[in-house]
Amino acid sequence: MRLSENIQKLKTNFKSSFWVANGMELFERLAYYGQATILSIFLRDHLKFTEVEAGQLSSIFGGLIYLLPIFAGAIADKTGFKKAFSFAFGVLAVGYFLIGATGMKTFSGLIPESLLFPFLTVILIFTALGGSFIKPSVLGTVALSTNEETKSLGYAIYYWLVNIGAAIGPLLAYLVRDYFGIEFVYLVSAISCAMMFFVTQFFYKNPVQNSDSQDLKTVFSNLIKVLTNLRFMSFLLIFGLYWVLFWQFFIIIPFYISDFISLDTPIELILSTGAWTIILFQIPVNRLTKKISTQTAIVIGFALATFTWLIWYFALPVTNGATINLFGGEVAASIPLIVFGIFLFSIGEQTQAPRFYEYIADLAPKGQEALFQGYAFLPIALAWGFGGTFGGWIYQLFTKEIDNPQMIFLVMSGIGLLATVLMLIYNKLTKSKG
């Protein structure tokens, strides 16, 4: 009876636009994370860019797709979420197809090799522009299609579906890469977004929107207000160091697996470990850490991230070339070690992520809590914008020029240690100032 009542509650307490928007978000995340797991390898091994060039292109796409929602959200509020979704999925479908087409034999030779980098730069900016409308439109729909009683559950469902997409996308990417070729992963992402374009047209209905939505002038004014708050920006920049470590899972780790373990290693499945860990362990981790202070939880998250890269620094060189029996077959010993590291990093992420938003609420000046929460993803954008190029450069430096790949993991451990120490200092300074 309890289960049937809960199911009925889900049916009646959420408007249809809530379920349609979250369903579309699932497919968009599936498309994004499917291609994200192979982007660096696609650029380097298939299109023959250097590690630095692959990192630069990854930075352009990843940085913009997390930065532009600041402005895309204001436009979506004005145009309505249905138009925003239509634009977003239309652009994403075309963009993903064009990215994949650069590596397809059918279109070989259409773009001169000398123009491939600028061409991809334009396409990645174009694709990120479309993708930037998804998050504010989905979150806006959740906000407007729930009430005070259901809002918390609504955001929990949204977060859960995001991680389902982040887990399934890499699985599909692996199957497509294995059977058809790496370039066709982008075709799957394009098809997924094209399907959601039509879902938007036929099934999504705009919820009633607030009349007090911000215009772009207000957005720019608020951005300046946030950027000039030194206490808040210091916090975000320190947090950006943490996200630099996270994004190396999509730059350094695929390169390392491809070069030092095996080209046939299921990189996509390994990188999906984080999403599956969140799906399975978020609730238990939250319960175990709920009595830990916000500041301590964030430092624990940083420390586990640092420990992950430190483990790899000491253990990966030892396991290179070694194999172990696993599930009835031999696998490279480095693979479960990398999986364990991502798992450990993800436990740290789950420990600090919910507290991150609590901390921002405490940092925000009175009456500006919502404004400051709107810029909470700036560290992710800044870290992707810098981290892709940095990761590509570090990898190329220590594998091609210095020939000491182990140092890559020590450098990343150093960044994690720096972030942890800076956060401890920041906590002490802000606590002493009251």
What pLDDT sits at residue 4?
A: 59
Phi-psi region of 181 (alpha: psi -120 to 50; beta: other; left: phi over 0): left
Q: Residue 353: how many CB atoms within 10 A of its CB?
A: 18
Coil, helix or strand at residue 376? coil
Residues with Cβ within 8 Å of 5's Cβ and at least 6 positions away in sequence, in order, are none
Measured CA to CA, the distance from residue 251 to residue 289 in angstroms comes to 31
Domain 15-203 class, CATH top level = mainly alpha
Residues 6+ apart with CB under 8 A from 310: 409, 413, 416
> Do 15-203 and 224-434 fold alike per CATH?
yes
pLDDT at 9: 60
Q: How far apart are CA 399 and CA 257, in angstroms?
A: 13
Structure token digits, residue 336: 């479960």
Could you tell me which CATH number the domain at 224-434 has? 1.20.1250.20
Q: What are phi and psi of 325, to 5 degrees?
A: -85, 125
Return d(Cα 434, Cα 427) in angstroms, integer. Answer: 11
List CB contacts of 305: < 8 A, sequence separation 6 or more. Answer: 242, 245, 246, 345, 348, 349, 416, 419
pLDDT of residue 367: 62
What pLDDT is attached to residue 1? 45
Q: What is residue 139's predicted lDDT score, i.e. its pLDDT?
A: 86
**Distance in angstroms (rounded) separating the CA atoms of residues 6 and 320:** 50
Catalogue the long-range contacts made by 138-141 (C-beta closer than 8 Å, 24 or more residues apart): 138/21, 138/22, 138/24, 138/25, 140/73, 140/76, 140/77, 140/81, 140/209, 141/17, 141/18, 141/21, 141/81, 141/207
Which two three-digit tokens encode residue 265?
């290693």
Domain ranges of the chain: 15-203, 224-434
pLDDT number for residue 12: 64
Per-residue pLDDT of the chain (434 residues; tens, 9 = 90+): 455 555 566 666 778 899 999 999 999 999 999 999 999 999 999 999 999 999 999 999 999 999 998 888 888 888 889 999 999 999 999 999 999 999 999 998 888 989 999 999 999 999 999 999 998 899 888 888 877 777 777 887 888 899 999 999 999 999 999 999 999 999 999 999 999 999 999 999 988 765 556 666 777 787 787 788 888 889 999 999 999 999 999 999 999 999 999 888 999 999 999 999 999 998 888 888 888 888 899 999 999 999 999 999 999 998 888 888 877 778 889 999 999 999 999 999 989 887 887 777 677 776 665 567 667 788 999 999 999 999 999 999 999 999 999 999 999 999 999 999 999 999 888 876 55
